[in-house]
Structure 1
Amino acid sequence: MEEYTIYTRQSVLGNLPPEKGPCGDAIYNKGTAPYVRASDTQTVAACFEIGSILSQLNQNPQGYDLTLPYDCGDGELKHKQINVLWGDEDHQTICMLRCDVTHIVNAEQSQRQVLENALTLAQEANRAKTEFLSAMSHDIRTPMNAIIGMTDLALDTEGKSPELTEYLGIIKNSSLHLLTLINDILDMSRIEKGQLTLEQTSFDLATEIDNFCSRYQLLMDKKQLHFKHSVELRHSSCIGDAAQLQRIWDNLLGNACKFTPSGGTVGFEVRELSPKSSKIGWYQFVISDTGIGIDRDSLPMLFDPFYRSHSVIDKHIEGSGLGLSIVKNIVDYKGGTITVASSPGEGTTFTVTVPLHFDMEPGQQDESLTGAAAAANFDFSGLTFLLVEYHPINQMVAELILEKTGAAVVIAANGADGVEKFTAAPPETFAAILMDIQMPVMNGYEAALAIRASRLPQSQSVPIIAMTANAFAEDIKNSLAAGMNAHIAKPIDPQKLYETLAEYL
């Protein structure tokens, strides 16, 4: 027969006999029910049935515990803990101990609240930092456009002394380096906000790799490095984001080149792994070098934002510490993996594995325009472009770049001014419109929509090209959604501008 025996504080201190009786529901009613809230009665009672207790003890031979919150009547919430364990080696007796743990639970809750408050403050501080860096980096692109644009124009000016040419070259290289840092900060801002987007377009992987290696061969030759690259592909026609893929290679191979002294070797191996399905292939990219290597303590933090290893800092090598973090995030977004193996003085090897969809119906690539065409080949004489640009120096830079092709330029200081100049001009006045985005009075999106909505003969056919510091995938989508035909990021690349105009003219 199953019986219960209850020892209370009063019975022990008063040397009184314990209360005994048949089990039934007594285990719950006598020892637990007074400390259970009405809303929890049914659930807790089930936990104290003999069958349930035996099942739990069989799963947890060392015992287990339950913590029950209860209202003692004065509005204060307290907590009782019930410890359940075997009372003898033969498992014929069950021992249950009850104690008040209110102070322990309250202390834990207070500590948890402190940690949650600290986490909230840290998240708010991180969000404020991210928003500040994003806004600052975006705003810096505007003067950077002026610096790079004016430097290019100065370099094209005849009659310069070799010394001045050297100075301008240093300004140009430093500006491009600063622009890279700005883009990295903007990208990290997008990543932290969960706004990284990957395009799904058709491309030929072998062609992308060949163009990439050809470009890097020049850099390797300049640094007197041996560049070894190999490609093993069964499927070359893929669907994915080729630009982000190239960014992964660019960051890793750029680092390999940066941290390998002259005479060293840099490797880039590409191989297609065994496919896991008929539609998706797995591709592995191995970037190796014989450079300075990475110390063991730095390896676990290598992909943290802004982290730079001691060897990099000690050698005063430039960098923001964001490149590898961005690479890691892109690889993660793609559903791939990245690993690193390195030893100081023995070089470093990064292995990236990413999935790419096979392109079952590869199309023909448009080769009507190539980046090799020189700006001198573009002649826009007799054409007039409407430049909608808020910043005076950027107005000057764009105007000078366009006038080099023989074109005439009409400038509008904001979106509203641009719409007014377009609607007031005779039909066919403007061959194309170059539209900034962030402007007072009316922004570029609103201006483009207003132009497309106007019922003038040329409102639907005139090419509108975004020319802006808003340089991300979602910005491009927003521009196209507003009725624009193309998107050019600042600082303005004259060659890209000429090619884009030629394509739509």
Structure 2
Amino acid sequence: MTRPGRLIAVIDDTPEDRAAVQRHLADGPDRYRFAEFASYDEAAASFRDEPPDCLLLDFRLQGMDGLEVLERLTGGTGVAPFAMIMLTGRGSEAVAVQAMKRGAVDYLVKGQYTPGQLRQAVAEAIAKFEDRPALERRRAELERAHRAAMDSGPNHERLILIVDDSPEDRVAARRALTQGAGSGGPSYRILEEATGGEALALCRSAGLDCLILDYSLPDLDGLEFLHELTGGTGITPFPVLMLTGRGDEAIAVRALKRGAADYLVKGRLGGESLRSKVEQAIQRMAARRVQEEQRVRVLERLEAEARHRADQLAEADRRKDEFLAMLAHELRNPLAPVVTSLHILRRSGPLPEAARTALDIADGQIKHLARLVDDLMEVSRITRGKITLKRQPVDLAPIVARAVDAARPLAESHSQELTLDLPAGTIPMDADPTRLDQVLANLLNNASKYTDPGGRVSVSVRVEEGPDGCPETAVVRVADTGVGIDGEMLPRVFDLFAQADRSLDRSRGGLGIGLTLVRTLTEQHGGTVEAHSDGPGKGTTFTVRLPVARAGPPAAAPRPAARPSAGPTRLLVVDDCADGAQALAMLFRALGHEVRVAHDGAAAVEAARDFRPDVAFLDIGLPRLNGYEAARAIRAELGDDAPYLAAVTGYGQVDDRRRAEEAGFQHHLVKPVEIDELLRILDLARKAR
């Protein structure tokens, strides 16, 4: 199909005919823009500002016929500035022949073509015109070699090939060309062939200036010959004059479509007339070659500019990704000591109710800010297509149940009713459980965000069977009684940064990333997601459809609950952020562990040597030695006595995790880290000893 947005110009002085053309093209699969004109004068100024991709030109116009318009548009060279199709109210093939000679790509008779034939003709004309630069490059290469040899020869001799199975006709054509030649004009060297096969071989090797081709050959006709010569492109490497013993204009139209420069009837041409036709064809091709070479140079310049622009955009995208990664790191660093300090306050003993409320508020807002930072990083992954899945056999039901349980505190804080309806039994899937949890969390968070206090959010799961009666699709619906979605916004809810709430108060919050992530992750799982709303104030339902695996997943071992490790542990905390290091050290000391603190990579190596910690928590962005270098140095110096290493950093991209693993870290934790995750690391370290 043709790309959307092609501009189709119609020059026709009959409004009804212009409307019919536009209607026929608009009803097809390709999307076009249209420009309508009643005369060439109206169209000319518009063409200077924006040339069309294809022109549909009526033959009979007031004051100027279509052939004259073609002459104006091509400057008399027959080289079309864009694809052109002639339309006429009567099927005159004589007009078709003249239109094709003047640069038209095709010719259609009004009232005799179907809408499908019109759409096909337009699509083929545009495609043929766009293929010409590459074909002209090839033809220019072939001609350049021959032209150099010809220009170095005496008197610029023309090399002409006459292909005709009639010896008498070949002699007549040779005589017509050679009589009177050389008197101030070009001289001719003439080659002759009687069959199409031999002539084709000669055409590809001899460097011809012109081919005089009989329509009727013993092994293939002239139209087949042209198809073989041009490879079906209609662009010949030199001008071809088609000769026939009868004036069949239907054949003439087909020959011109296939690349012939002219169509002549034997017996109607004298010597001077044939020589004139040959010279006109050669000069027209030379003029067309110049124009095409200019067009090729312009296209090459535009392509070079486009490549340069693409390189600039790629560089800007790379810098944007680096900025987002750095921004996330800088935002996560101050979040970490705040989260740790909140944990310390919660463990400091009984607190007044007002203090507990304040802690809950601070904790909720910190988690919200951490989610926003994570969303920033997802933007980069979405735009670059870098989101990857870690598939494994899973049961969807407990994943949905955990997501609903995780969302319940948010719903309760908004006085919302949150319900879950799960089917009995397992729902086996081959999926990434973390990413599925992300899909559900975003949908639940979105539902709660856009539902007023006292509203209801319901989650239901159903399994649909396939034609064979086996489970085929899991359908998860998240419905709310919230503000709903306007009909104009509904098609765009999954677009990046799209938001229905654009009010100044920004009471709903968010970056407009969550639903884009939902769609991306769902589609990567081979599923679909759609949104439905009856309008503002009528709630919204999101429906996720995911393929079910044929075999059930193995029973997943429950993840052990985090608990304080048995006995005190020697811990090394390394962070160039003094507040972050101090807060984490205070938390660990409150849990009964012995802690040493360092603030740069070199100090970390020294502390590991002297203190011999069981576990070391290292930031990555450290002065003197970064975290990767420090980890390698610790492992190199202490060998088997090296501590259990965990990176605690604001850098959270896939490449950061890979580099941490390569440096020798057993774990990569992204700030801010929950207390349960820290306790889990201590427990794993104790078991590894």
Please state if 1:66 is matched with 2:250.
no
| Residues 318-370 of structure 1: CA deviation (Å, up to 9, x unaligned) | 01111122223323333333333334323323232334656666145144x32
Q: Which moved more, 1:485-494 or 1:253-262?
A: 485-494
Secondary structure of the 1:338 match is strand
- Which residue among 627, 638, 641 is the counterpart of 1:458? 641
Query: C-alpha displacement at 1:56, in angstroms?
Result: 11
Q: Rg larger in 1 or in 2?
A: 2
Give the secondary structure class of the aligned counterpart of 1:94: helix
Q: Pick the aligned partner of 1:324 from 497, 515, 530.
A: 515
- Residues 482, 33 of structure 1: CA spacing in aligned structure 2 closer, same or farther, 3 A cutoff? same
**Range moving further from structure 2, 183-192 or 245-254:** 183-192
- Name the CA distance, whole Å, in 2 between partners of 1:233 and 1:65: 67
Specify the alignment match of 2:614 in structure 1.
Answer: 431
Distance verdict in 2 for CA 1:227–1:363, change over 3 Å = closer
Partner residue in 2 for 1:292 = 483
> How many angstroms does 1:450 deviate by?
3.5
Q: Match for residue 174 of structure 1?
A: 365
Tell me which amino acid in the other structure corresponds to 1:350.
F
In 1, are the aligned partners of 2:223 and 2:254 still within 8 Å (CA)?
no
Residue in structure 1 matched with residue 545 of structure 2 by the alignment: 353
Counterpart selection for 1:94 from 255, 264, 268: 255
Tell me the amino acid that sits aligned with residue 436 of structure 1. Answer: D
**Counterpart of 1:174 in structure 2: which amino acid?**
Q
Matched with 2:607 is: 421
Show the counterpart of 1:365. Answer: 557
Alpha-carbon spacing, 1:120–1:226, altered in 2? closer, same or farther (3 Å): same
Q: CA deviation at 1:501?
A: 1.0
1:270 aligns with 461
Paired AA for residue 230 in structure 1: D
1:487 paired residue among 665, 668, 679: 668
Which runs of 5 or more structure 1 residues have no equivalent in the other structure?
6-18, 37-47, 71-79
C-alpha distance in 2, partners of 1:352/1:81?
Answer: 62
Q: CA deviation at 1:261?
A: 2.3
SS across alignment from 1:66: coil
Q: Distance in 1 between matches of 2:344 and 2:357?
A: 14
How much does 1:138 deviate?
1.7
**Who is 1:146 aligned against?**
337
Structure 1 window deviating more from structure 2 (489-498 vs 276-285): it is 276-285
Deviation readout 1:257-276 (Å, 9 max, x if unpaired): 11122344333232344479
Residue pair 1:401, 1:494 contacting (<8 A) in 2 also: no
Contact 2:395 2:426 in 1 (8 A): no
- Offset of residue 142 of structure 1: 0.7
SS in 2 for 1:492: coil
The whole-number CA distance in structure 1 between the counterparts of 2:551 and 2:637 is 41
Superposition map of 1:204-215 within 5 A: 204-215=395-406
How far apart, in 1, do the equivalents of 2:467 and 2:577 lie? 53
Query: Secondary structure of 2:641's partner?
Result: coil
- CA-CA distance at 1:253 after TM superposition: 1.7
CA distance in 2, matches of 1:502, 1:151: 22
Evaluate the alpha carbon distance shift between residue 117 and residue 298 of structure 1 in structure 2; reply closer, same or farther with a 3 A threshold. farther
Partner in structure 2 of residue 443 of structure 1: 626
Instruction: Quote the Cα distance in structure 1 between the aligned partners of 2:533 and 2:427.
Output: 31
Q: Which has the higher contact order (CA 8 A, sep 6+)?
A: 1
Equivalent pair of 1:239/1:359 in contact (CA under 8 Å) = no
Q: 1:316 to 1:209 in 2, by over 3 A?
A: closer
- The aligned runs of 1:33-432 (5 Å cut-off) are 33-34=208-209, 50-51=223-224, 53=226, 65-66=234-235, 88-89=249-250, 94-95=255-256, 96-97=260-261, 100=288, 101-102=291-292, 103-154=294-345, 156-157=347-348, 166-232=357-423, 235-274=426-465, 282-310=473-501, 316-345=507-536, 346-355=538-547, 362-367=554-559, 369-370=560-561, 378=564, 382-425=568-611, 429-432=612-615
| Deviating more after overlay: 225-234 vs 246-255 | 225-234
Determine helix, strand or coil for the equivalent of 2:533: strand
C-alpha distance in structure 2 between counterparts of 1:347 and 1:55, whole Å: 65
Q: Which letter maps to 2:569?
A: L
Equivalent-residue separation in structure 1 for 2:645 and 2:553 (angstroms): 31
Deviations 1:104-152 (A, max 9, x none): 4444454555444444433433332232122111222111112332344
Q: Give 3-state SS (helix, strand or coil) of 1:196's partner.
A: coil
Distance in 2 (CA, whole Å) between partners of 1:159 and 1:225 is: 29
Give the whole-Å Cα distance in 2 for the aligned partners of 1:293 and 1:219: 19
Give, in angstroms, the shift of residue 281 of structure 1. 6.2
Inter-CA distance 443–315: structure 2 relative to 1 (3 Å threshold): closer
TM-aligned CA distance change 1:28 to 1:234, over 3 Å: farther
- Give the number of equivalent residue pairs: 455
Note closer, same or farther for the CA distance 1:410–1:278 as it changes in structure 2 (3 Å cut): farther
Measure how far apart 1:409 and its partner are. Answer: 0.4
Tell me the distance in 2 between the aligned counterparts of 1:433 and 1:277. Answer: 56
Q: Secondary structure at the match of 2:418?
A: strand
C-alpha displacement of 1:67: 8.2
Q: Which amino acid aligns with 1:383?
A: T
The 8 Å contact of residues 240 and 357 in structure 1, kept in 2 or not, is answered as no
Write the letter of the residue equivalent to 1:411: V
| CA gap 1:265/1:172 in 2 versus in 1, 3 angstroms | closer
Q: Verify the 8 A CA contact 1:284 1:352 in the aligned structure 2.
A: yes
* 2:648 counterpart residue number: 467
TM-score by length of 1: 0.74
Q: C-alpha distance in 2, partners of 1:503/1:463?
A: 9
CA contact (8 A) 2:501 2:508 kept: no
The one-letter amino acid of 1:499's match is R
